[in-house]
Structure 1
Amino acid sequence: MKNYNQMKVLFYSLLAVFILVSCNNQSSVNKIDNYFPSDTVLVENDYPGIDNEVVLKAMQDLKICTLSDTSTTIALCDYTKFRIFPVGPNIDLAKSFILEMKEGVYDSPVKQVLVIEKSFNKYKIINRYLGFLMEYRTTESGYNDLLMGYKDPEMGLIGIKHAWDKEKYEPVDVEEINGYFIQEALKDSINQLFLPNFNAGY
């Protein structure tokens, strides 16, 4: 594994160039708030109720939460702690779904995102990330691309795209740093810095 201090030096050098280019060419850098492609759904901060009984049962079977308010060790399956998203526009929630858990659930300091899939009549967690869902985008594969946000105490908010790879999601592209899109000229260097050392989930 690369020396972390060397990685940080490289990152800040690249970031300095990134900011310089951004300041001199604002037309090529857009803030996330101004960029809404037609096939993209921006994830809001609301937590609607979960009314899908199959999903709720899957969450309970996986011991993520419980439908009974008598448990003192497992969180209650309510909308104040959990919310669900589709894996794809035509993929039934009974087959697969995305679950986001609020920070504080089971003492986690950050939000968590789980991708849950049914296989051989049994649900399993195929991805678990220590981050939050920023947006999702439809693709030809039928599985949405996921833009996930990860907070780093030194580097800020990093937006990484995750794409479906046959059996699970994989991080494939660092798209944003603190709300600004990465310049194409810096894409390879930034990705080589972050992706091989990605440790915020699987």
Structure 2
Amino acid sequence: MANVDRPHGLTPVGHLLGLPWNGALRRCLVDADYATALYIGDPVDIDTTLVNKDATAKRQTVMIATAGNASGIYGVIVGMDPIRTDLSKQYIPGSTGGYVYVCCDPYVIFRVQDNGGAVPTYVFPGQTCNLASGTGSTRTGLSGWEMSTTTGTTDDDQLLILNMADIEDNELAVNAEWDVLINTHRLKPNSTGAGIAVGCIGVTSA
């Protein structure tokens, strides 16, 4: 039976150390001038616009991540504060602002649907790939981001594929669900390109 095409962004499902994911999150700011809507399951990065920063310096300010090689990811939106003027919305519309709850543990395992760009094969586990951006659903509040089926082995790809998710009705075919690690995470060591681990890459604001 064909897999259902139902993108949902990235969903935390476990921890690389064998522990269950305990739901630990960080509350982050989305500035009211930020024009892009954000959804549950969206990957986010540190906002690089100075005037968008939290004036109290108590919260990290985030923006949508960029899909593609060498693009950093701070974490994934798992929840958000309600918009008190419109409780029907389960996402943050553009130019609205608010607070999101971000899973930013670099060793959390995420589940993500592939984008069906090619038929996946049994050699995918252990390979790397990038994310594919997508538009979230204003009805469900879920992200439209997916995993690209263009795979490789480079250390600047955004995801490391662990395995196809061992769940019912998940076939090795287009739109399969995969368990992945974020490979270009802001909070874990990065490579110099020569396979040498170096410190975390910082982000400045302009």
TM over 0.5: no
Bigger relative contact order, structure 1 or 2, given CA contacts below 8 A and separation 6+?
Answer: 2
TM-score by length of 1: 0.25
TM-score by length of 2: 0.25
Structure with higher Rg: it is 1
- Of Structure 1 and Structure 2, which has the larger fraction of its residues in helix? 1
